[in-house]
């Protein structure tokens, strides 16, 4: 009984640290937030923080993983609302664009994430969440013959990079029409991949 209570208390402390750190990192940025402020806001001791995380970078990594998992779940839910593989791909990509333009998500996932963890670690986390969903969706439309058969890996990275860049740009945009225009451009980009799209009709494409 006592062990179970202590375990729940530890999980509660960890959850509080993640929640408060996520709020601070999102509003102020990684560099502007210190551990002293985090433990004060979370209402815990530094010893309690170090029990769960060796330092600030490891705490941020856990926050980033949580943010990326949340975005991945949003993408998956939007895609799963459709039965058709093509509709799943389009809905998932549009949801990723919408979710990642949230200023709190953008700051942690796209700005501080690569800078704090380095490109390799950041890509590994991204590929395990949103990147995995995108690769699965592209594989489904390739297998269904909706887009020409091709290696899915390069296409996944190209689309992921384009959407990440668009999200960064949109987060700084002051024109309210830019989101709708970017969503339309993303839809057009995806439709160009389909069999019978511009590359397919002209006979110009990878390997031709």
- Per residue in 96-127, pLDDT (tens digit) is 998 988 888 989 998 999 999 998 888 888 88
CA 177 remoteness from chain centre = 23
Q: Determine what percent of the chain is predicted with pLDDT higher than 70.
A: 93
- Distance of alpha carbon 89 from alpha carbon 78, whole angstroms: 9
Residue 57 is predicted with a pLDDT of 95
Q: What is the pTM of this model?
A: 0.84
- Distance of alpha carbon 49 from alpha carbon 46, whole angstroms: 5
- Which residues contact residue 16 at a Cβ distance below 8 angstroms, ignoring those fewer than 6 apart? 42, 43, 44
Indicate if the pLDDT at residue 208 is higher than 50: no
Report residue 8 as tokens: 């729940």
41, 24 Cβ separation under 8 angstroms: yes
Residue bearing tokens 């502007």: 32
Q: Give the SS3 label for residue 144.
A: coil
Residue bearing tokens 């941020």: 60
- Per residue in 15-65, pLDDT (tens digit) is 999 999 999 999 999 999 999 999 999 999 999 999 999 999 999 999 999
- Distance of alpha carbon 53 from alpha carbon 14, whole angstroms: 9
pLDDT range class, residue 203, cuts 50, 70, 90: very low
Beta-carbon neighbour count of residue 121 at 10 Å?
A: 14
């Amino acid at each position: 009984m006592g062990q179970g209570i202590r375990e729940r208390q530890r999980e509660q402390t960890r959850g509080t640290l993640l929640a408060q750190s996520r709020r601070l990192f999102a509003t102020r940025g990684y560099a502007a937030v210190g551990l002293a402020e985090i433990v004060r806001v979370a209402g815990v001791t530094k010893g309690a923080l170090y029990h769960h995380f060796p330092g600030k970078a490891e705490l941020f990594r856990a926050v980033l993983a949580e943010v990326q998992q949340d975005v991945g779940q949003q993408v998956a839910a939007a895609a799963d609302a459709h039965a058709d593989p093509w509709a799943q791909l389009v809905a998932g990509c549009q949801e990723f664009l919408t979710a990642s333009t949230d200023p709190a998500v953008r700051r942690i996932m796209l700005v501080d994430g690569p800078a704090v963890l380095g490109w390799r670690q950041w890509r590994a986390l991204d590929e395990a969440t949103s990147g995995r969903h995108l690769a699965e969706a592209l594989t489904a439309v390739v297998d269904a013959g909706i887009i020409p058969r091709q290696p899915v890996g390069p296409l996944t990275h190209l689309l992921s990079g384009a959407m990440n860049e668009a999200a960064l740009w949109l987060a700084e945009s002051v024109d309210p029409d830019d989101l709708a225009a970017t969503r339309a451009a993303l839809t057009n980009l995806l439709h160009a991949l389909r069999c019978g799209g511009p590359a397919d009709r002209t006979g110009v494409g990878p390997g031709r």
